[in-house]
Amino acid sequence: MSKTDAPHRFVTAAEMQVDTLPWGPHEWLCRPGLTDASDLQLVRVRMPAGTGHAFHRHPELEEIIYVVDGEAEQWVGETCRRLGPGDLAHIPRDEVHATYNGGSDTLVFLAILSPARSIGPALIDVSGEAPWTTLRVSTGDAP
Amino acid sequence: MSKTDAPHRFVTAAEMQVDTLPWGPHEWLCRPGLTDASDLQLVRVRMPAGTGHAFHRHPELEEIIYVVDGEAEQWVGETCRRLGPGDLAHIPRDEVHATYNGGSDTLVFLAILSPARSIGPALIDVSGEAPWTTLRVSTGDAP
């Protein structure tokens, strides 16, 4: 383990920092304190079947979701697409979005955010507000 | 094909833009003109065995290299590491770096750059300058 050697130029399973969240482990591979990140953050999420990260927005961050393995039910605004390995979603700064595991296997995806720091809150949960509360049910995407 | 519908929020094999370069096809999944990219670019490179992208720097761009498949001989400055699937390199703005296919199979990796545009040249090739000219031979990393 070389966590004490940060900032790293190379990050493998030995150096990554893992956060445990309700929608699966978050394996941080690039963020301040781990690398010399200024403009880029990258976290690999391993989302179990039946879970998801409900509708939210990042007021100061642009984001990419890149699917590594499994199937994502990916929302950007009020539009939903099923994404597979190698597919990408682009989420402009402050746009509402959500990611659910759309299959029966673990969904693995990269969330890439820019810049590497926020001055205000990094994330605002809007999952309890209209139209996001009922969107998945009304479109038939909810299981 | 929906290339005329850009900017896209979702990019799959049907929407991506492919550039052909000497070190393999570059599959652009996020860049201005394809998405509403402001801070993020993402390109997937399929690098054949025996090829590489020699030492260069991006004066205005921070970069992440994320290995999807195969083995990379990845340089950041004068340091080399062999990276496999799931491993990452972080390259601060203007730092010299290079990526070679370090195995016998096609190397597939993501290059993620920020911001999405440069005012000056996006890339400066330094592969003909010392110490980069002889570095791989002197360290024994050249095939």
Distance CA B83, CA B70 (A): 9
Q: How confident is the model at residue A140 (pLDDT cuts 50, 70, 90)?
A: confident
pLDDT at A142 over 90: no
* Share above pLDDT 70 across residues of chain B, in percent, rounded to a whole number: 97
Pick the residue of B9, B44, B87, B95 with the most A CBs within 10 A to test the interface with A by mutation.
B9
d(CA B47, CA A84): 22
Cβ B30–A64 below 8 Å, yes or no?
A: yes
Give pLDDT, residue B104.
97
| pLDDT tens digits, A77-134 | 999 999 999 999 999 999 999 999 999 999 999 999 999 999 999 999 999 999 999 9
The tens-digit pLDDT sequence of chain B (143 residues) is 445 578 999 999 999 999 999 999 999 999 999 999 999 999 999 999 999 999 999 999 999 999 999 999 999 999 999 999 999 999 999 999 999 999 999 999 999 999 999 999 999 999 999 999 999 988 888 87
CB contact under 8 A, B64 and A30: yes
pLDDT greater than 80 at residue A5 = no
The three-class DSSP label of residue B4 is helix
How high is the pLDDT of residue B2?
47
Task: Give the residue from A16, A72, A69, A21 showing the smallest Cα distance to A43.
Answer: A16
Tens-digit pLDDT profile for residues B10-36: 999 999 999 999 999 999 999 999 999
Q: CB distance A92–B10 less than 8 Å?
A: no
